[in-house]
Structures are given as structure tokens and as C-alpha cells.
Chain A
Amino acid sequence: ETGVTQSPTHLIKTRGQQVTLRCSSQSGHNTVSWYQQALGQGPQFIFQYYREEENGRGNFPPRFSGLQFPNYSSELNVNALELDDSALYLCASSLDPSDNYGYTFGSGTRLTVV
């Protein structure tokens, strides 16, 4: 059984650019949630995808968007990058939307915006 894998592990982008982060969910999990963790802070909920549909969204602007594919893998897209978008982006998969204690987190993608 594989865990959650995220790619790339590190990324440097320039302000104004666009970025796509990828997440492969754990086998058997159909729900993916994305979190942003700024330095020295706890993770903040961006959104959740369940069976290819957005199933909840945190307080993030529309330039943060996502996709979930039929194999339940997911992408996080951020347009018009700002310096404050620099953070660790964590993906978590679960068996279903309510299974918070069954969350499996990936190791994250460290995004630096310069």
C-alpha cells in the first residue's frame, strides 16, 4: 500500500507566474484535501475534492484552484503568484470526506516565490 506522494518536493517561482502542484492519493482513498502551511504556522485548509468535485473551500482567493482526476489524484493550481504564497503545500487523502482521523498527509511541496 503506497502512501500519499507529492511532486515536486521543492519549487522556486517568480511573482506573477503560475504553478501546478501534484498529489497522488493513498490507494483506496477517494478524497483529497489541500493545506497551506506558512513558516512557523499550522496548516490552513485550502479546499477538498471528493469524487472529482470540490467539496469545501477555505478562505483562499479564486486564483487557488484545483482538480481531481478519475484515479483520485489531484492538482493544486495557483495563478498570479504573490510573495506571501511562499509556503509548504500539503496534500492529505482519506477514505471519505468525514474521515479526518484517517487523513494521510504527503511530505509536501515547498514553494518559494521570489
Chain B
Amino acid sequence: DQQVKQNSPSLSVQEGRISILNCDYTNSMFDYFLWYKKYPAEGPTFLISISSIKDKNEDGRFTVFLNKSAKHLSLHIVPSQPGDSAVYFCAARDNNAGNMLTFGGGTRLMVKP
């Protein structure tokens, strides 16, 4: 039972345009959501997060939107740059279930120059 799903395994966008990565979840007890970026041969690095009490968090070119009623979150990257090409993971935390993060399967983003 996948509690966090990223339904698009890959996404290709042109440099300068917007990248939108999507994530759906089923567990209504999740209270914190995070996005990680992973380059080949490196560990995931934290990108941006959002608490379940908010619907938007912005950090430079990166914005995360949370729609609790739809159990959906998205990561917007504007403008996209070739260096953004990586695998992006959505993760969620249930504060009542210990400290584990539940990850989605990832979306490979390719930004073309």
C-alpha cells in the first residue's frame, strides 16, 4: 500500500519554463511534507518543506503547494534551469508514527537547454 505516490516517473521541460512535480498521499495523519532532490551517485538533499497547517511555502525559485482536501501537493520550479535536472522525491511524516519519512517513488526531471 503506497501511502505517497508520484504518478509521473519523468518530466521534461525547456529551460526557463515552469516545472510542476506532483505528489498524492492517502494518509490523513501526515503532518509535514518535504521535497528532496537526488543527483546520480549522491544522496538525496533537502529542498523545501511545508507543514500541514499551511497551503504554500516559497523559497526562491521553488514553491510547494499543499491541498489537504485533495491530499495533493506540488512543487513548482520557476524558471527551470539545466542544473535542476535530477530525481525529485516527495516525502511525508506522520508525527504519531515515529520519525520515519514515507517517500514517493520519485520523478526524474530533465531540463533542456
Contact = CB atoms under 8 A, between A and B. Distances in A.
Contact of A92 (B32, B43, B49, B105): B43
Main secondary structure of the interface of A (DSSP, over half): mixed
B45 interface: yes
Interface in B69-113: 89, 91, 93, 98-106
A108 B43 contact: yes
Interface residues of B, number: 25
Interface stretch (A13-21, A67-75, A98-106): A98-106
Contact of B49 (A40, A55, A101, A105): A101
B101 A100 contact: yes
Interface of B: 4, 6, 9, 32, 34, 36, 41-46, 49, 89, 91, 93, 98-106
Interface of A: 4, 31, 33, 35, 40-45, 48, 55-56, 58, 90, 92, 97-98, 100-108
